[in-house]
Amino acid sequence: MGYHVTIDKKSGFCSGVIRAIRCAEKALEGNKKVYSLGAIVHNNEELRRLQEKGLNVIKHIDLSTLPKDATVLVRAHGEPPATYAQIEQHGLHLLECTCPVVLKLQKKIKQEYTRIKPKDGQIILFGKKGHAEVDGLIGQVGGDAVVIENQTEVKDIEFTGGPVSLFSQTTKNPVEYKATALELKETMKSRGLDPSLLKTFNTICAQVDSRHEELARFARSHSLILFVAGKESSNGKVLFQTCKEANPRSYAIENPGDISPQWFTPGDTVGVCGATSTPFWLMEEVAETVHNMR
């Protein structure tokens, strides 16, 4: 007899990823080729499914080699203005699938930069350096922004003395973001800067924000957790940490093949959950594998 397994109904694709995948699937109808600028989702299992339908993952350097009028998909993470210029320059067809939450944030950063730059202001972004979303965000201001990955990097910031506007990548941990904002305020005070110069924007996606608390509750309510996510998923790393802190018997896997029988003890209640880039069908496969374990 297998273990009692529950899938977290609130895990899996966020609305932005669902929208991008539907956008791709619609474009792929009729065996058309679609070129995704970067992986549409950081999950190898889902990527394989879409590639079988005709989705091709390319890099920016490949744009100049595509046939004229080829369809280029801009994924949920978004892109900097320079990418759109390249797509137009090479006569390619744009398939815009950027998450509306990310688009709104791009616009806000650009507006804020326009407002504070004449006052010698600075844009600071709490996010993962080199992440596609982060590159798209700082691209709105020509790269004239400071990117910090954690609160310990606040001490390395060279302040200009003008206004400071703090934003976050949409998928970051809300608790860490708040701690970073507080650290920034205290650092400014210690350097003789007026803390009122700091303006903090709440730019973490509401779906991601609420998911941390819900996921911690889910992890605590089971004796063992299987967290399903691709190794490349930034959001996956953040959410798995939330699981691990709530339940030390949390294991990160990419697919059912990663499951080790040694993790389990008789009578375990197993919770299966995942990142915003994890398809629900994959969590169902993981649950089915555990059900059938002896």
**Residue where the block lists tokens 């320059």:** 89
In this structure, the number of other CB atoms found within 10 A of the CB of residue 195 comes to: 12
Determine the residue type at 120.
D
DSSP bridge partners of 226:
251, 272
| Residue 287 burial by Cβ neighbours in a 10 Å radius (0-12, 13-18, 19+) | buried
Which tokens sit at 67?
Answer: 């046939």
d(CA 209, CA 235): 11
**133 given a catalytic annotation:** yes
Q: Which two tokens stand for residue 87?
A: 């797509």
Angle, CA 41 vertex, CA 144 and CA 52 arms, to 5°: 140
Cα separation of 238 and 151, whole Å?
15
Which of these, 249, 242, 206, 245, lies nearest to 224 by C-alpha position?
Answer: 249
269-274 and 55-58 beta bridge pairing? unpaired
Q: How far apart are CA 265 and CA 2, in angstroms?
A: 11
Instruction: Report the candidate in 111, 92, 109 with the shortest Cα–Cα distance to residue 101.
Output: 109
Q: Please name the residue that has the structure tokens 């040694």.
A: 262
- Marked catalytic residue, from 79, 112, 133, 254: 133
Amino acid letter, 186: E
CB 166 within 8 A of CB 201: yes
Question: What is d(CA 235, CA 241) in angstroms, rounded to the nearest whole number?
Answer: 10
Catalytic residues: 133
